[in-house]
Chains A and B, each alone.
Chain A
Amino acid sequence: MRRFPDAAGIASLLIFLLVALPIFAVLVEVAVPSVEVWRSIGKTLLPEMIKNTLLLLAGVGVATFLLGVSLAWLTFAYRFPGSRVLEVLLILPLAVPTYVLGYVYMATFDYAGPVHTAVRELFGFTLPEIRSGWGAMAVMSLVLYPYVYVMARAGFAQISATSIEVSRVLGYSKFETLVKAALPLSRPAVAAGMALVMMEVLTDFATVRFFNFPTLSEGIIRIWYGRMNLKAAMELAGLLLLFALVLVWLEHRLRGRARYYQRGRAEGIEKERLSGIRGAAASVFCTAVITLAFVLPVVQLLRWSVEETSAPSASFRMYMGLLLNSLTLSTAAAAACALFALVLAGVLQSAGSRRLRSVGRLSTMGYSVPGAVIGVGTLGVLSSFDRSVNALLESYMGITVGLITTGTIVGLIYAYTVKFVTVAYNSVDSSLERITPNIIGAARTLGASRFRILKDVQLPIIAPGVAAGAILVFVDVMKELPITLILRPFGYDTLSVWVWQMAAESMWGGAALPALTIVLVGMIPVTYLMRKGGVLR
């Protein structure tokens, strides 16, 4: 065993503690449940929230699986009119957060909305109510299927062409090949994609609120927002955390010992040509999905935005304020995550110890934890921190400083870091791997000092990876809703918070431009993904 506390160990342990604290805080709360909390929500609300959460997971799970895998197989194994363009465009909906699509659909297909009204007036009958579990599932599946789609394609591309061709030679049809060879072989990749979908489903509270389908995430926000009862919110968050942990475990099991690989091109097999009706059907299917999940909502948002801004008013200044807030938070969080990731990755790569490496991996667990859990967990940690600092200062110096971290930007960025440090870490880690020991050795034997190696070799090599990681965090924070809503300073509105508030008040137009901005920013990583031919990071 290595001599224990060295600098590397201490640094990674500190980061780990910092990241794990909010999550542990929630676990501790649920370990000592308070009776009255569970009595108040236990009878009616809790069973419904659990039931809805499970239903949503199942519904969106099945729908994204079917949609993602079928689209992936269609574009992987067949050629049809427009397939080259469509297979790339199918990634686009990834840029649309669930709550944005949710709000657009609600506005469009609501009882009072244009579609319902038109159908009622023209045909004299009433369409089914969209404000339901079905509506929520449909909306979420439409924007979340790309996770499965992208991962399944990566999985298919990894399978050697021969194993697919062998199956064909053995007399299986293409469909049987999918079911009997391609799917089982790409199981790890599909499982990873499904896990991402499930995490998004657990995190979302806004869409389900729009559609009147209360889930656990929604419950946490409601209890915190409506009753300001942090204790109850944290206990409910503990329950949700258990759901997330089960999911992580399930994915681990499904993935098995196999690993999914991200490199590779989807050019493994000879694509079969679909012509005539079948080709047209394939094109129409793909186009319909893209239209419903991306084109329609973006067009609708554009229309509203134009209507809203054509009357120049205070709303534009308002928008600039929101944009500035969002940019500030995203930039700060991106910088913080990149810095933490750099320290973590650097420390872990230089340390050979396995135990240290697993500590490092644990530090990146926040990504699988729903936003609401991190939100209330951080709030719990910050408020006890503030309380203790205040108590200390009061007893020793007789001064009261009030809230130091709670409800400040610092607290908010801390929570973002807990959630998104993984995103930066993955990118930073792989760029650090490019600096092999021999590269440092080469620089040294060429006479470079430590400082010059840092300046001319190490930093320039990792810079693109750090930048990429920071951009991904930036985009994620821009879209983020639950953490922002729980921890933002009073009256500090961001684009995402504004979309949520306006939409909740049925002020569709007011939410349009911020929502459109979020979608545009979301396009940054998606375009990158599209350029790479649709292989997820």
Chain B
Amino acid sequence: MKSQVVLERVTKKYSATTAVEDMSLEVGRGEIFCLLGPSGCGKTTTLRLIAGLEKPDSGRIEIGGVAVAGGGVWVPPEERRVGVVFQDYALFPHMNVFQNVAFGIRNRRGLRRRVQEVLELVGLRGMEKRYPHELSSGQQQRVAIARALAPEPEVILLDEPFSNLDADLRKRIRSDIKKILKDTGITTIFVTHDQEEAFFMAERIGVMRDGRLEQVGTPEQVFHRPSTPFVAQFVGTADFIDGVVRNGRVVTSIGELELNEGFPEGERVRVLIRPDFVDIEEDGEGEGTVVERLFLGTHHLYTILLKGGERVRCLRHRSRPIPAGSKVRVKLGAPARPVVFRTN
């Protein structure tokens, strides 16, 4: 896969804080890539660096094989051919839908046709004469996307594209948007703090924390093989229990797991436990106590207090509820390769 966007050791500092630190990243042509992380982790700054709305303090950026920043090169945003969909959409309030979408189209001759084409794509034909304030927020977002797509940019960047939509609308719109992006085959980088959104939309995800990329991988990789405890917790429900390495296995208070990685004998480690790894059974002699039960419709989510004071959560499907306070036996139906972190 050819790289469409390349960041090489990019750093951006504001007076007191470092927003992006030593970030390297490659996004392939036609790929939908997501930067995932908590607020303030530098994801939006990364987008702005790619768009040229911020200048990196060091490092290089390349778009479509051409250097746009770093090494004495600076290509301003108006020459980068990057489409941006801002979190607040930033539509031009004094222009109607047609004028907004037409704004970035250079080729004046095919202009009308191109606007119609893009509006067709986002399902807004017939709305040309409307002004932004006359549109719902979902429609405004589509205009923003159409406007960004219209000049046929090399890359499209979306900043928290769904955060201004209410929950109901969000689910509907994000599959529409995904389809639009896939249909156009455009390279997409979007930013979100919502792991579910990231999983739904992205082919690859980069998890960010404090200005650094913690891990880059497919949704499955990030979920099943998180490279740090932070990633594990950020992309799903995660508990950690202590263990010790013995004979290529890791021994914990609730069972032993096979280890494939080379940990030295006797090393103390933390084992990632997802709620679906754990099963419980009522047992008066059991090592755990149910402290909380949450009814989630198809599932129950139990919180279990283990003898040593550790807690794990357990997801049980279609089963008779076990009341809080019950003693339970905990079984680990763990995956073939458990995720294990060194204890610092």
* Chain A interface (Cβ < 8 Å from any Cβ of B): 434, 436, 438-439, 441-449, 456-457, 460-461
Contacts and interface: CB of A to CB of B under 8 A. Distances in A.
A105 B244 CA distance: 99
A434 B94 CA distance: 10
Given A444-B53, A445-B84, A447-B78, A436 B90 contact: yes
Interface string B64-103: 0000000000001111111110111011111000000001
Contact of B147 (A444, A446, A461): A446
13 contacts: A436-B90, A438-B88, A442-B92, A443-B92, A444-B76, A444-B77, A445-B77, A445-B80, A445-B104, A446-B78, A448-B103, A448-B104, A461-B94
A507 B206 CA distance: 83
**Closest 7 A-B residue pairs measured CB to CB?**
A446-B104, A438-B90, A444-B77, A442-B90, A438-B86, A445-B84, A439-B90
Interface string B240-279: 0000000000000000000000000000000000000000
B106 interface: yes
Tell me what chain B mostly uses at the interface: helix, strand, loop, or mixed. loop
B177 to A, nearest CB: 18
Contacts of B92: 439, 442-443, 457, 461
Nearest to B51: A445
B42 interface: no
A514 B92 CA distance: 43
B288 interface: no
Contacts of A447: 78-79, 81, 104, 106, 151
B52 interface: yes
Nearest to A464: B94
A441 B103 contact: no
A436 B83 contact: no
Contacts, number: 63
Contact of A441 (B51, B91, B93, B106): B51
A447 to B, nearest CB: 5
Contacts of A460: 94
Nearest to B106: A447
Nearest to B157: A445
Contact of A434 (B51, B87, B93, B104): B93
Contacts of B80: 445
A438 B147 CA distance: 14
B266 to A, nearest CB: 55
Tell me what chain A mostly uses at the interface: helix, strand, loop, or mixed. helix
Nearest to A434: B93
A357 to B, nearest CB: 19
Nearest to A461: B94
Interface in B96-153: 103-104, 106, 147-148, 151
Interface of B: 48, 51-53, 76-84, 86-88, 90-94, 103-104, 106, 147-148, 151
A460 B103 CA distance: 14
Contacts of A436: 88, 90
Contacts of A438: 86-88, 90
Contacts of B82: 445
A439 B104 CA distance: 13
Nearest to A448: B78
B151 A446 contact: yes
Given A444-B53, A445-B52, A447-B106, A461 B84 contact: no
Nearest to B80: A445
Contacts of B76: 444
Given A441-B51, A444-B78, A446-B103, 12 more contacts: A438-B87, A439-B90, A441-B86, A442-B86, A442-B91, A443-B92, A444-B52, A445-B82, A445-B104, A446-B78, A446-B148, A448-B78
A445 B78 contact: yes
Contacts of A456: 103
Contacts of A441: 48, 51, 53, 77, 84, 86, 90
B324 to A, nearest CB: 38
A456 B103 CA distance: 9
Contacts of A445: 51-53, 77-78, 80, 82-84, 104, 148
A460 B99 CA distance: 13
Contacts of A434: 93
A294 to B, nearest CB: 35
Interface hub of B51, B86, B92, B148 (most chain A Cβ within 10 A): B92
Given A441-B84, A445-B53, A447-B106, A461 B93 contact: yes
B146 to A, nearest CB: 12
A439 B83 CA distance: 13
Contacts of B77: 441, 444-445
Contacts of B91: 442
A446 B147 CA distance: 8
Interface hub of A434, A439, A445, A457 (most chain B Cβ within 10 A): A445
A447 B148 CA distance: 11
A449 B78 CA distance: 7
Contacts of A446: 78, 83, 103-104, 147-148, 151
Nearest to B82: A445
Contacts of A448: 78, 103-104
A300 B185 CA distance: 75
Contacts of A443: 92, 103
A493 to B, nearest CB: 41
Nearest to A460: B94
Contacts of A442: 84, 86, 90-92, 147
A120 to B, nearest CB: 62
A441 B147 CA distance: 13
A456 B94 CA distance: 10
Contacts of B52: 444-445
A436 B77 CA distance: 17
Interface hub of A436, A443, A444, A448 (most chain B Cβ within 10 A): A444
A502 B92 CA distance: 52
A449 B106 CA distance: 12
A372 to B, nearest CB: 41
A211 B145 CA distance: 67
A465 to B, nearest CB: 11
Contacts of B93: 434, 461
A444 B53 CA distance: 8
Contacts of A449: 78
B12 to A, nearest CB: 16
Nearest to B150: A446
